[in-house]
Each structure stands twice: as structure tokens, then as C-alpha cells.
């Protein structure tokens, strides 16, 4: 068995200055209040032997999670080390572990022959010396940690089971299982399953909308007269064939040509390759049917006739009006010849009167002519029209002279000349009027000729003066109306036939729309064919396999943990019972049976404590009893399983022990100290006194009297 | 699953309720197995062996099927289900849990059930035990069975399908 002789600590945890401890006495007592460095002393032994294995969450000791090795107050240049002298009875080894960084440390191992190993070689050798005992084994059988007792004392079954697992050295299994649970694979699996949920819901909404549209369209189709069993591809194609056959027959009957179009063999081609074309053909047939064309022609002709009639009527009236006016004129005024003759007479008379005037007084005539000239507009009234010279007030002067000298003489002749001139103007005006009337009349006659020509072209005959074009047109109209009446029924029946065919086309369109909507509903199938969907399915399969494998691993770990616990309890159970009964001396409890079973919900170990009658003890155990139980388990296991180490360490073992229990406990320790070094750290004054008084083996006492940041623990040694 | 199949099954589910729907799906499945060339589909009564479809055989393939239908993501695998299939396993049949979630994106899942423990099982976890090939093959026949017998099943429920199964068996026996 491996014992420890000496311990040297510097800069480790609570320590600043270097301190040395001799550990060769059977019992080593570390006394002192809180935060004096007692636990750091025990931790130093641990760390020296196992290095960074005893740090962090993997230890299962919660306070080790953010553990600092290097004392914060240590000057930066100072080293941190723990040196431990070990002996296996014959040989002495010196293990010195130095702190390098948070994650690194270095071991130097000095062998009995004074040679030394360093680093990995030293670690391997040390492990050999420790006979491959793990840190877990150390905690189970050598170092009873105060936290282990604390969690046994709790009333929570889960925490108690955890603590007992730890005591039994099974916390690694628990840690792995906790790690697996923390990974949340089941949750992830459910999330993967649900990842699609939002998308599925949207599809569901879209499909419900489409379903409603479908139902509406199906209802409409039935109202259109479609039988239910025709609302499918086959039905659509059957009706399409009927449409084609009926149109072909129609074309043949009406002398039209139907566009050659093959019948599609699937509904998808119906819309664009067939129905749209058929629709256009029907529209074409409606306008190109011979009857319809003829009807159109007749209507056109009828419009033309009515228009011509109107035109003829208007122009004829105009001709009549002009003729009446012309005749009236002739009657009143005579014709052109007569008017010309009248004009000629007047001109002759006028010439004679002017000659007469001239003969009476040439000068006076000249003055009269000059006055007449000067009175004209735009003429300079002061310029003589004969000589061209300017005379002021010439016109006035001439007028005075005319009035004075010539008026009486020539006045009458002048009046007569004036009168004749007026008559002449009147006749000229009549002649003009006559000419106008003649022209109008000619034009009106020409218009009538043109209208007749148009009528003749329309009626395809020459219109002569003997014909009454208006009546001829009426007759033609009657003929047209008669023909229109005759063709009306035939056209109506043909249009109805086309309506019927067109209704069938509408039905096919409706069915195609329905089939389209049904096709779109197959979006689910489309989605399931996508690479992305297939990938999700693959991932689900892989995930299920992974979860399944992990669950198998969990089951295996639980099984191993259970078996391990069972074996340990089997080997140490009796001793644990003896120790417990010795410490507690409860007359009602003569024996305890520690057993383990599997929690059906979690698969983890569940520990039960029963008395000699098989009754559950936990509900009736006090805190002191639970403390005693924890100590019994530790000491029992230590005795049964610890073969390597020649010492045990107890840190604050008496947390809830009463005085009697402490005494009994000390008796047990005294017995143990006979074969192993017992190192106890406590601040319990009563326990201290009791240990000093009642332990029969040699003791070395270290009093941790104080602590300061600059120097670390103040330790006084006493040997007893 | 195909939209048309889903919609037909949904209609049947709405009409007959979950229990009856489960039975109907069992019978469709039984027809599917028959059509796929499996023989002796003995649709056992509950309480005798407790297995829904019973044993199906085709050459070396021998399965004993427990059918579960649901609209949730879990099924309840009962103790009697487990016992029934274990019993059949001893007789040389591969116990199979046939699960159908009535969902557009779901399909039949055939899972080897010899390693399953009774309790509430998530359907997704069954994927680790899938018999892919059997699923693919029988699903096709199942779809055909639904298409063919839907209208009459809507009208006559289980009774109609019982008649169909009897006819198929009789035809099989004669040949």
C-alpha cells in the first residue's frame, strides 16, 4: 500500500508561502476555522497525484468547476508547486507537480534511485505506482469530500442518488448521461419533425382554398348540365369528340370548311390546342354561314336602298321647288329672250336721251358727267377729270354751276336718263336671277340623273324617265324583307346549333379548370419529390438512428452503472451496515440494507435503504443519521475496495453528527488508523476535542490559526 | 401520401371516427398485402393473439403486423401489443408495427418492433427501425386498394371490406 510521508505546498489555492507537513503519524489532524487553508491542504495531495483531473465539471464536484490553482496573491514570478513524498514501504518516491497555466501542469517524479522522470513519462510512472487507480477511485475510497456528505443530507431523492453514485465512484456514468441529456437529441428530433410544420400549415390553407374553388366549380359544372361521372379527363375528351363531330357535320351542311384539328389524347392539351381553336371556328362559322352572309348582304342592300330613297326624295323635291320658282319667274318676268329684248330697248332709249342731252348742251352734259364722276367714292373731288388739274372745291363749284345754269334745262332729260338707267338695272337683275334659276334647275336635274344612276346600279337596271325610281326601290325593299323573313328561321336554328356546341365547349373548359385545380392540389406530391424534401426525410432517418443508438448507449451506461453499484454494495454492504449501526446505535435499526434499482423513468440508479424488517429507512433518518450513513458508505467502500492507498482523508466529516455519533465515529477511525494513516480536516471544536481525547493512535496536529493574503495559512504544528 | 388518397382517408376518418377508421385501414392493408402476393393474412380477432392483421407470408418473408393509425405524432404501444408480437416472434414471424399518421406528408411506416418497449412512442423515433422496401411496396397496393374500394367503403364501412377480404381469400384458396 502507498503511504504519504511528507507534503510541501507553495502558491497552491489558499497557500502563498511554502509550507511543509509531515504525514508519517497514524493520525493527522488539521484544525481551524473556515478559510484557513485546511481543505487546500487535502486538495494539494489530490492535485499532486492526479493533476488537472481533479479540476472542472468532470469531477462531479460542483465547487471544482471554476477552481483556481494558482493563488491570486502570489507574486507573478513565484512558482506554484506541490511536492509529495510517497512510500510503498520499501521505496520512496517524490512527486512534484508544478503549475504552468490554467490547463497545464508539469510532474517531475524522483525515483528511489534518485533518477527522475518528467512530463508524460512521470505521469505514466506515477499511474503505475498508483496501480492505475483513477481519481474517481480516489474520491470513492480515499478522500471523503465534504460535498459528498452535504448532498447525502438533502431530502431530494435525485440529489441523494447523485451523491451516492458519486460516493460509489459512479459519477462519471452520471456525467455522461447528463451530457447526453443536455445535448437534447430528443428535443432536436422533435424540432426536426416540427420544422416542417409551418410550411405544412400554409399548404393546408392553400389546399383548403383550392378545395373550395373546386367545389364551386364542380357545382357550376353540374348546373351547366354535366353529369358527375363526366367531370374527369375521360368525360372531357368524350365531349370534345362530340364537339368536333357536331362541328364537322355543321360545316358540311352549311358548305363551310372546318379547320383540320386532331383531337388531343389528354386533358392538358385540350385548352390551347383544341378548345380555343374550336371557339374561334364557331365564331367564324357564325359570320361565314351562307345564310348569315346572305342576310348581311340583304341588310346592307336594304340600308343602301333606304339611303338612296332618302337621297332621291330630297333631290326630287328640290328639283320640283326650283322648277316652280323658275316657272313663276318666267310667268312674272318673261324668259331670257324677252328680258334681253327689254334691256335692249331701254339701252336704245338711254342712248337717245343722252344724245339729246348732249345736243341740248354739250358743256352741261360734260359738267353733269364730271359731277357724276367726282361724286364717286375714292375720287379726289378737287381734280378735274378732263384736264387733270386741281381746283379747290371743284365739285361744289361744278354743282353750283349745274344748279345755276343747266339744271332747269337739262334736269328733265337727266331724270329720264336716270329713270332709264334704273330700269336697265332692274332688267339686268332679273336676267341674273333667271340665269341663277336656270343653273339651279340644271343642277337639280343632274342630281336626279346621278341618283337614278345609283339606283340603276343597285337595281341592276337602267332608270329612264318613264320609271319611278322611288317605287322601284320600294319594290326591291319588299323583296329583300321577304327573303329575310324566309331565312330567319333557318339562321336561328343554325345559330342555336352553334350555341349548343359552344355550350359544350364551355363545359369542357369548366372540366379542364376542375382538372387543373385537382392537379394543383397535388402540390404535396410535388413537394415530396423535391431534393430538399428528400433530404429532410433522410435527415429524419439519420436522426432517428442516432437517437436510437444514443439511447442504446444510455441503456448500456445505465446497466453498467447499475451493475457496478450492485457489485460495490455487495462487497461493502455488510460493512456499511455495521459501521452505520455502530455510529448511530439506534435500537430500532439493527441492520441496514443498501440496495440499488433502476429508476423506470430516468434509467438511473435509485438507492434504497431498508431496515432489518425491509422498511424504508430514509423517511425516518435524521440529518445525523444521514451524515453517519455517508461516512459509513465511504468507510465501508474504503475498506472493501481500497487496496492501493495507505491513507484516507476526511474533510469536515461531522457536519451533522451529534456528540454520541462523533464518539462512535472516532472509535471507528481509531481502528482504521491502525492500518492506514487517517487525515482529518475539521473546524468542529467538539470533534477536535474528542479526536484529541479519544484517538489512541499517535497524532500530529496542525492548527490553522490564521490566514492572510500575503502569506497564506498560518500553521502551528503539535505532536501528540 | 397522394392527395387523392389522403382526402379519401380523411373523409372516411370524418365519417367513421378514429376507432372505426383504424379498423378500416387495417382491412385496406390486409387487402394490400394480399394483392402484393402475401398469403394467409389471418385478420385475427383481438383478444386471441392480439395482433391486428396476423401473419403474412411470402416465400421466406414472414411478418406479424400490428396496425396503428393516428392523427398525432405519437402512438401508444401497449403491453398487449408488445406481448402479442413477441408471441408471434417465437413462432418465426418478424414483428412489425405498421403506423399511419393521417397527414398529407405522412405515409405508412413499417417498423421492426422486436426492440420496442411498451409506452408512448414518437413516430419519428420509429424511423430507426424502418423496413423501407416493405413500406414502399405495400404502400402502392394500399393506395390502389383505397382507390378501388373507397366508394363502397364510404357506404358500407368495415362490413364491405370484410366481404372483399373473404372474396380474395376464397379466390386464393381455390387457386
**Residue B2 touches chain A, beta carbons under 8 Å:** yes
At CB < 8 A and 24+ separation, what contacts does A609-618 make? A617/A589, A617/A592, A618/A160
Positive or negative CA dihedral for A177, A183, A187, A192? Answer: negative
Which ranges of A521-530 would DSSP assign to H, the alpha helix? 523-529
Which pLDDT band, with edges at 50, 70 and 90, does A136 fall under? confident
Cα separation, B63 vs B57, whole angstroms = 7
pLDDT at B175: 59
Q: Does A548 touch chain B (CB under 8 A)?
A: yes
d(CA B71, CA B101): 5
Cβ contact B122–A189 (<8 Å): yes
* Res A153: pLDDT: 64
User: How much of chain A exceeds pLDDT 70, in percent?
Assistant: 97
Residues of B whose CB is below 8 A from A193: 73, 122, 124
Distance from CA of B167 to the nearest CA of A (A): 27
Chain A residues within 8 A of B104 when measuring between CB atoms: 200, 203-204, 207, 524
Between positions 55 and 74 of B, the ones with CB within 8 A of A are 73
Helices of type H across A585-712: 623-641, 659-672, 685-694
Average pLDDT value for residue range A514-533? 85
The pLDDT assigned to A356 comes to 83
What is the pLDDT, as a whole number, of residue A60? 64
* Chain A positions in Cβ-Cβ contact with residue B127 (cut-off 8 Å): 540-541, 543-545
pLDDT band at residue A354, thresholds of 50, 70 and 90? Answer: confident
User: Residue A620 phi/psi, 5° resolution?
Assistant: -110, 0
Length of chain A, in residues: 720
pLDDT at B45: 45
Residue numbers in B near A541 (CB within 8 A): 127-128, 130
The answer to whether residues A9 and A705 touch, using CB atoms and an 8 Å cutoff, is: no
Tell me which of B102, B107, B128, B139 to substitute to probe the interface with A (most A C-beta atoms closer than 10 Å).
Answer: B128
Facing residue for B127 by CB, picked from A522, A523, A540: A540
Distances (CA, A) of B62 to A167, A224, A374, B92, B169: 51, 54, 145, 7, 18
For residues A268 and A409, the model is more confident at: A268
b/e per residue B75-98 (b: at least 16 CB within 10 A): bebeeebbebbeebeeeebbbbbb
Mean pLDDT, residues A287-307 taken together = 92
| Helices A407-459/A469-520 angle, 10° precision | 50
**Does A555 reach chain B within 8 Å, measured CB to CB?**
no
Of the residues A523, A524, A539, the best mutation for testing chain B's interface (the one with the most B CB atoms within 10 Å of its CB) is A524
* Record: contact B124-A540, CB cut-off 8 A: yes
Length of chain B: 175
- With a CB cutoff of 8 Å and minimum separation 6, the contacts of B40 are B54, B55, B56, B57
- What pLDDT is attached to residue A155? 60
ipTM over 0.95: no
pLDDT greater than 90 at residue A345 = yes
CB contact under 8 A, B129 and A207: no
Residue A56 scores a pLDDT above 90 = no
Partners of A608 in the β-ladder: A595
CA separation for the pair A315, A440 (Å, rounded): 12
What pTM did the predictor assign?
0.62
Instruction: State mean pLDDT over B148-169.
Output: 90
* Residue B128 with chain A: CB contacts under 8 Å: 541, 544-545, 547-548
> How far apart are the CA of B4 and the nearest CA of chain A, in angstroms?
8
Looking at CA atoms only, how far is residue B124 from chain A in angstroms?
7
pLDDT at A58 over 80: no
Task: Please report which confidence band the pLDDT of residue B41 belongs to, taking 50, 70 and 90 as the band edges.
Answer: low
Q: For residue range A221-236, what is the model confidence (pLDDT) as tens digits?
A: 999 999 989 999 999 9
What proportion of chain A, given as a percentage, has pLDDT over 90? 50
Q: Which residues of B touch A189 (CB under 8 A)?
A: 122, 124-125
In this complex, is the C-beta atom of B140 within 8 Å of any C-beta atom belonging to chain A? no
B 106-125 residues with CB < 8 A to A: 122, 124-125
Starting from the edge strand earliest in sequence, which strands make up the sheet with A3-10, in order? A19-22, A3-10, A81-87, A92-99, A105-110, A116-118
Backbone dihedral angles phi then psi of residue A212, each to the nearest 5 degrees: -65, -45
* CB-based contact A99:A70 (threshold 8 Å): yes
Structure-model confidence comparison of residues B166 and A93, the more confident one: A93
**Inter-chain contact B73–A196, Cβ cutoff 8 Å?**
no
Which long-range contacts (C-beta less than 8 Å, at least 24 apart) are formed by A360-364?
A360/A409, A360/A410, A360/A413, A361/A406, A361/A409, A361/A410, A363/A406, A364/A402, A364/A405, A364/A406, A364/A409, A364/A410
In a mutational test of the A interface, the residue from B111, B112, B125 whose CB has the highest number of chain A CBs within 10 Å is B125
A62 has a pLDDT exceeding 90: no
**Do residue A544 and residue B2 have CB atoms under 8 angstroms apart?**
no
Does B130 touch chain A if contact means CB atoms closer than 8 Å?
A: yes
- For residues B69 and B9, the answer to whether their CB atoms sit within 8 Å is no
Q: Tell me the CB-side half-sphere exposure of residue A641, using CA atoms within 13 A.
A: 28
Phi, psi of A383 (to 5 degrees): -105, 125
Q: Which residue has the cell 514501504?
A: A89
Residue A204: closest CA among chain B residues belongs to which residue?
B104
Distance CA B4, CA B160 (A): 21
Residue B155 has pLDDT above 90, yes or no: yes
The pLDDT, as a whole number, for residue B46 is 43
Of B1, B2, B105, the CB nearest to A196: B105
Using the Cβ of B144 and the Cβ atoms of chain A, whether some distance falls under 8 Å is answered with: no
Say whether pLDDT at B166 is over 90. no
Q: Is the pLDDT of residue A719 over 80?
A: no
The yes-or-no verdict on residue A657 having pLDDT over 70 is yes
Distance from CA of A648 to the nearest CA of B (A): 45
pLDDT reported for residue B8: 94
Instruction: Give the mean model confidence (pLDDT) for residues A158-184.
Output: 84
Residues of A in contact with B125 (CB under 8 A): 189, 544, 547-548
pLDDT band for position A451 (50/70/90)? very high
| Cell numbers that stand for A520 in this block | 394543383
Nearest to A545 among B73, B104, B128 (CB): B128
What gap in Å lies between CA A535 and CA A527, rounded to an integer? Answer: 12
Question: A480 vs A102, A467, A484, B58, B95, CA distance in Å?
Answer: 117, 20, 6, 86, 92
The alpha-carbon gap from A564 to the nearest alpha carbon of chain B, in Å, equals 25
pLDDT at A68 over 50: yes
Question: What pLDDT score was predicted for residue B50?
Answer: 41
Average pLDDT of the segment spanning A622-646:
84
Mutate to test the interface with B, among A191, A192, A193 (most CBs of B within 10 A): A193
- Best-predicted range by mean pLDDT (A59-68, A225-234, B33-42): A225-234
pLDDT at site A159: 78
Amino acid at each position: 500500500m502507498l503511504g504519504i510521508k511528507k507534503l510541501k505546498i507553495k502558491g497552491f489555492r489558499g497557500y502563498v508561502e511554502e509550507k511543509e507537513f509531515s504525514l508519517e503519524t497514524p493520525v493527522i489532524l488539521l484544525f481551524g476555522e473556515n478559510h484557513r487553508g485546511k481543505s487546500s491542504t487535502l486538495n494539494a495531495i489530490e492535485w499532486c497525484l492526479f493533476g488537472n483531473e481533479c479540476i472542472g465539471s468532470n469531477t462531479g464536484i460542483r465547487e471544482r468547476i471554476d477552481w483556481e490553482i494558482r493563488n491570486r496573491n502570489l507574486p507573478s514570478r513565484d512558482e506554484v508547486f506541490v511536492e509529495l513524498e510517497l512510500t510503498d514501504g520499501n521505496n520512496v518516491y517524490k512527486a512534484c507537480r508544478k503549475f504552468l497555466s490554467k490547463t497545464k501542469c508539469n510532474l517531475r517524479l524522483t525515483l528511489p534511485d534518485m533518477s527522475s522522470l518528467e512530463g508524460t513519462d512521470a505521469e505514466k510512472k506515477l499511474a503505475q505506482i498508483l496501480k492505475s487507480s483513477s481519481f474517481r477511485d480516489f474520491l470513492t475510497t480515499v478522500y471523503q469530500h465534504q460535498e459528498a456528505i452535504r448532498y447525502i443530507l438533502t431530502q431530494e431523492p435525485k440529489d441523494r442518488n447523485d451523491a451516492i453514485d458519486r460516493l460509489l465512484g459512479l459519477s462519471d456514468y452520471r456525467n455522461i448521461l447528463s451530457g447526453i441529456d443536455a445535448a437534447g437529441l430528443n428535443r432536436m428530433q422533435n424540432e426536426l419533425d416540427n420544422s416542417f410544420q409551418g410550411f405544412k400549415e400554409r399548404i393546408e390553407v392553400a389546399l383548403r382554398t383550392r378545395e373550395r374553388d373546386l367545389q364551386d366549380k364542380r357545382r357550376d359544372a353540374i348546373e351547366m348540365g354535366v353529369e358527375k361521372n363526366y367531370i374527369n379527363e375521360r368525360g372531357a375528351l368524350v365531349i370534345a369528340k362530340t364537339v368536333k363531330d357536331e362541328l364537322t357535320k355543321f360545316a358540311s351542311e352549311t358548305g363551310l370548311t372546318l379547320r383540320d384539328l386532331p383531337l388531343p389524347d389528354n386533358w392538358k392539351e385540350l385548352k390551347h390546342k383544341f378548345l380555343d381553336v374550336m371557339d374561334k371556328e364557331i365564331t367564324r362559322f357564325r359570320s361565314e354561314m351562307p345564310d348569315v352572309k346572305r342576310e348581311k348582304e340583304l341588310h346592307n342592300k336594304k340600308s343602301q336602298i333606304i339611303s338612296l330613297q332618302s337621297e332621291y326624295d330630297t333631290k326630287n323635291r328640290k328639283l320640283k321647288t326650283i322648277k316652280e320658282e323658275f316657272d313663276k319667274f318666267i310667268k312674272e318676268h318673261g324668259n331670257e329672250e324677252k328680258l334681253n329684248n327689254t334691256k335692249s330697248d331701254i339701252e336704245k332709249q338711254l342712248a337717245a336721251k343722252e344724245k339729246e342731252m348732249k345736243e341740248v348742251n354739250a358743256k352741261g352734259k360734260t359738267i353733269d358727267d364730271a359731277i357724276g364722276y367726282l361724286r364717286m367714292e375714292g375720287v379726289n373731288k378737287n381734280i378735274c377729270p378732263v384736264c387733270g388739274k386741281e381746283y379747290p372745291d371743284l365739285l361744289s363749284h361744278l354743282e353750283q354751276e349745274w344748279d345755276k345754269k343747266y339744271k332747269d334745262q337739262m334736269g328733265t332729260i337727266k331724270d329720264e336718263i336716270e329713270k332709264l338707267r334704273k330700269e336697265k338695272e332692274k332688267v339686268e337683275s332679273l336676267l341674273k336671277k333667271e340665269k341663277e334659276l336656270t343653273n339651279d334647275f340644271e343642277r337639280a336635274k343632274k342630281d336626279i340623273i346621278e341618283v337614278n344612276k345609283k339606283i340603276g346600279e343597285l337595281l341592276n337596271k337602267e332608270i329612264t324617265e318613264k320609271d319611278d325610281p322611288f317605287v322601284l326601290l320600294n319594290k326591291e325593299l319588299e323583296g329583300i324583307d321577304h327573303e329575310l323573313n324566309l331565312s330567319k328561321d333557318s339562321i336561328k336554328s343554325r345559330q342555336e346549333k352553334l350555341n349548343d356546341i359552344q355550350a359544350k365547349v364551355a363545359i369542357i373548359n369548366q372540366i379542364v379548370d376542375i382538372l387543373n385545380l385537382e392537379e394543383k392540389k397535388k402540390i404535396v406530391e410535388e413537394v415530396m419529390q423535391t431534393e430538399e424534401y428528400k433530404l429532410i426525410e433522410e435527415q429524419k432517418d439519420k436522426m432517428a438512428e442516432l437517437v436510437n443508438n444514443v439511447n442504446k448507449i444510455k441503456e448500456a451506461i445505465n446497466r453498467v452503472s447499475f451493475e457496478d453499484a450492485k457489485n460495490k454494495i455487495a462487497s461493502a454492504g455488510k460493512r456499511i451496515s455495521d459501521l452505520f449501526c455502530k455510529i448511530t446505535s439506534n435500537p430500532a435499526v439493527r441492520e441496514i440494507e443498501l440496495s440499488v434499482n433502476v429508476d423506470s423513468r430516468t434509467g438511473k440508479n435509485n438507492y434504497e435503504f431498508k431496515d432489518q424488517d425491509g422498511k424504508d429507512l430514509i423517511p425516518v433518518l435524521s440529518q445525523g443519521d444521514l451524515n453517519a450513513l455517508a461516512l459509513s458508505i465511504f468507510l465501508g467502500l474504503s475498506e472493501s475496495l481500497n487496496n492501493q492507498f495507505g491513507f484516507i482523508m476526511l474533510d469536515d466529516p461531522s457536519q451533522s453528527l451529534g456528540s454520541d455519533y462523533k464518539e462512535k465515529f472516532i472509535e471507528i477511525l481509531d481502528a482504521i488508523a491502525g492500518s492506514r494513516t487517517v487525515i482529518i480536516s475539521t473546524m468542529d471544536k467538539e470533534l477536535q476535542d474528542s479526536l484529541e481525547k479519544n484517538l489512541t493512535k499517535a497524532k500530529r496536529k496542525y492548527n490553522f490559526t490564521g490566514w492572510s493574503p500575503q502569506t497564506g495559512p498560518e500553521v502551528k504544528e503539535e505532536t501528540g | 401520401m397522394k392527395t387523392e388518397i389522403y382526402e379519401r382517408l380523411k373523409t372516411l376518418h370524418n365519417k367513421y371516427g378514429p376507432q372505426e377508421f383504424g379498423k378500416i385501414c387495417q382491412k385496406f392493408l390486409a387487402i394490400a398485402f394480399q394483392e402484393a402476393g402475401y398469403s394467409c393474412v389471418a385478420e385475427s380477432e383481438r383478444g386471441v393473439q392480439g395482433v391486428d392483421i396476423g401473419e403474412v407470408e411470402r416465400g421466406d418473408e414472414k411478418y406479424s403486423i400490428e396496425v396503428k393509425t393516428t392523427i398525432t405524432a405519437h402512438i401508444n404501444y401497449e403491453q398487449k401489443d408488445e406481448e402479442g408480437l413477441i408471441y408471434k416472434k417465437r413462432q418465426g414471424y418478424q414483428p412489425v408495427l405498421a403506423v399511419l399518421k393521417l397527414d398529407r406528408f405522412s405515409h405508412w411506416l413499417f417498423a421492426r418492433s422486436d426492440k420496442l418497449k411498451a409506452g408512448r412512442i414518437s413516430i419519428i423515433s420509429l424511423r430507426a427501425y424502418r423496413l423501407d422496401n416493405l413500406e414502399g411496396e405495400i404502400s402502392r397496393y394500399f393506395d390502389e386498394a383505397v382507390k378501388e374500394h373507397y366508394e363502397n367503403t364510404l357506404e358500407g364501412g368495415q362490413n364491405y371490406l370484410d366481404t372483399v377480404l373473404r372474396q380474395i381469400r376464397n379466390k386464393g384458396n381455390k387457386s
